[in-house]
Structure 1
Amino acid sequence: MRTELASEPGDPSRPNEDFASVALPAGGQGGALVVLDGVTPPQGDYGCRHSVAWFSSRLGGALTELSVSPRLPPLTEVLGEAISRTAEEHAQTCDLSHPRTPQATVVLARWSAERVEYLVLSDSALLSEAPNGMVTALLDDRLARVPRTSLASAAHVDATLRNKEGGFWTAAADPAVAARAVTGSLPRAQVRALAALTDGATRWVEKFHEGDWADCFTVVRKEGARALVDRVRVLETADVERQFLGRSKRHDDATVVYAEL
C-alpha cells in the first residue's frame, strides 16, 4: 500500500487549520483516511477560547480513532460521535451555540477487503480512481450551489446559510449534522486509489481551471501530493490581477492525501 500526505499553511505565520491522517487498524485489513479543513472565522468574537486549529486536531484525532474501531460503526455515526467528543472538551468554557464556533469540512473514507465507504461534508473533495483509470469525484456541492451574491456578507451567511436548510453544512458542535453528509460505498474491486483534498488544493481545478478531476488525480499519482500543492502556490502567486482568485485569500491552507489500496 502506498500513501502520501502533504499539508501546507496558507500563511507561515499562522497555524495550519487543516488536519489529515491515514490509519491502518492493528491486526486487521483495510484502513481509513481523514481530511479536515478548519473554517477560519471572521475577525471578532466567535464564542470560543480555542483556535480552529485546536478544534481540527481534536475532531480529526477522534475521527481517526473511531474510523478504525473494531466495532466499525457507520461513518455517519463515526462523525456524530467525534463531534460529540470534541464538543464535550470545551462545552463548559465556550459558547458552542455561536454560529462561528470552531468548525470544519470533512472527508472520511474507510476500506475493507470488500467495500470502500466514504463521507463528505462541505467543500473538501474525495477522488476515487477505478482500475481502468476512470476518476470519480465524490463531492458535497451544496456550498457551490449557493448564489455568490449570498456570500458577500459573513453576517448574512451565518444567519441564513451556515448549517441551515437550503444552505450548507459543516462539522461544528451539533452531532446531528452527520446525517447531512454525502455518504456512500463502492466495491473494493472498483477502487484502485483515493485522493482527498481540502479546497486550498482543489483550487487547481475549481479556481484556476488547469484541468478536470481526472487531470488533478493524475498529477497526484504521478508527481506526488506535494507537487499539486506546489502547482497551486505558483498559480496563486502569478494571479496578481486576481483574475481567478477574486476576493479569496491569496494563499489558503492546502492538504492532499493519496492512498493506493
Structure 2
Amino acid sequence: MRTELISEPGDPARPDEDFAALALPASGQGGALVVLDGVTPPEDNGGCVHSVPWFCARLGGALTELSGSRRDLTLREVLSHAILRTADSHAFTCDLSHPRTPQATVALARWSATVVEYLVLADSALLCEAPDGTVTAFVDDRLARLPRASLATDALVDATVRNKEGGFFTAAADPAVADRAVAGEVPRAAVRSLAALTDGAARWTEKFRAGDWGDLLRVVRAEGAAALVARVRALETADRTARVHLGRSKTHDDATVVYVEP
C-alpha cells in the first residue's frame, strides 16, 4: 500500500485550518482517509471561544476514530456521530446557533477487501482512479452552482445560503447535515487509487485550469502530493498581480492532499 499526505498553510504566519488523517487498521485489512478544510471565521469567531483548528482537530479526530472502529456505521452515520460528539464538547461555552460557528468541508473514504465508500460535503474533492486509468471526481458542487450575486458578502451568504435549503452545506453543529453529503460506494476491484484534496490544492484544476482531474491525479501518482502543492504555489505566485485566475480570492490558500493506493 502506498500512502502520501501533505498539508501546507497558505500563510506561514497563520495556523493551517485544514485537517488530514489516514487510518490503517492493525489487521492490515482496509483503511480510511479524512480531509477537512476549516472555514475561516469572522472577526467575532462565530460566537465560539475556540479556534477553527481546534474544531477541525476535534471533528477530524472523531471522524478518523469512527471510520476505523465503527464498520457497522455508514459514512453518513460516521459524520453525523462525529458532528454531534464535537458539538457536545463545546455546546456549554459557545453559541452553536451562530451561522459561522466553526465548520468545515469534508472528504471521507473507507475501503475494505470488497468495497470503497466515499462521502463529500462542500468544496473538498475526492478522486477515484479505476485500473484502466479513468478518474471519477466525487464532488459537492452546490456552492459552485450558486449565483455569484448570492455570494457578494459574508453577511448575505450567512443569511441566505450557508447551511440552508437551496444553498450549500458544511459540517458545523447540526448532525442532520450528514444527510446532505454526496455519498456512495464502488467495488474495491474498480479502484486503483484515491486522492482527497481541499480546494486549496484542487485549485490546479478548478481555478487555474492547468489540467483536468485525471491530469491532476497523474501528477500526484508520478511526482507526489508535495509536487502538486508546489505547482499550485507557483501558479498562485505568477497570478498574484494580474489576478486573472485568482480574482478576489486569497493568493495562497491552505492546501492538503491525501493519496492512497489501497
**Alignment partner of 1:127 is 2:127:** yes
Per-residue deviation, residues 23-46 of structure 1 (Å, max 9, x unmatched): 112225100000000000233341
For 2:197 and 2:140, the matched residues in 1 are separated by 13
Aligned-partner SS, 1:41: coil
Change (3 A) 1:64 1:45: closer
One-letter amino acid of the structure 2 residue matched with residue 92 of structure 1: F
5 Å matches for 1:217-228? 217-228=217-228
Per-residue deviation, residues 19-67 of structure 1 (Å, max 9, x unmatched): 0011112225100000000000233341000000100011000000000
For 1:123 and 1:156, the matched residues in 2 are separated by 19
Which residue pairs with 1:37 in the alignment? Answer: 37
Aligned-partner SS, 2:89: helix
Structure 2: where are the runs of 5+ without partners?
A: none
**Alignment partner of 1:56 is 2:51:** no
Which residue pairs with 2:176 in the alignment? Answer: 176
One-letter amino acid of the structure 1 residue matched with residue 222 of structure 2: K
Which residue pairs with 2:46 in the alignment? Answer: 46
Identity of aligned residues (%): 74
TM-score where L is the length of structure 2:
0.98
Which residue pairs with 1:118 in the alignment? Answer: 118
Aligned partners of 2:34 and 2:106 also within 8 Å:
yes
5 Å matches for 1:1-261? 1-27=1-27, 29-239=29-239, 240-261=241-262
For 2:169 and 2:72, the matched residues in 1 are separated by 24
Runs of 4 or more, structure 1, over 6 Å off, are none
Aligned-partner SS, 1:46: helix
TM-score where L is the length of structure 1:
0.98
One-letter amino acid of the structure 1 residue matched with residue 13 of structure 2: S
For 2:144 and 2:64, the matched residues in 1 are separated by 27
Aligned-partner SS, 1:144: coil
Aligned-partner SS, 2:126: strand
For 1:204 and 1:113, the matched residues in 2 are separated by 32
RMSD: 0.8
One-letter amino acid of the structure 2 residue matched with residue 254 of structure 1: A
Aligned partners of 2:130 and 2:191 also within 8 Å:
yes
For 1:70 and 1:55, the matched residues in 2 are separated by 22
Per-residue deviation, residues 95-119 of structure 1 (Å, max 9, x unmatched): 0000000000000000000000000
Aligned-partner SS, 1:247: coil
Change (3 A) 1:64 1:154: same
Structure 1: where are the runs of 5+ without partners?
A: none
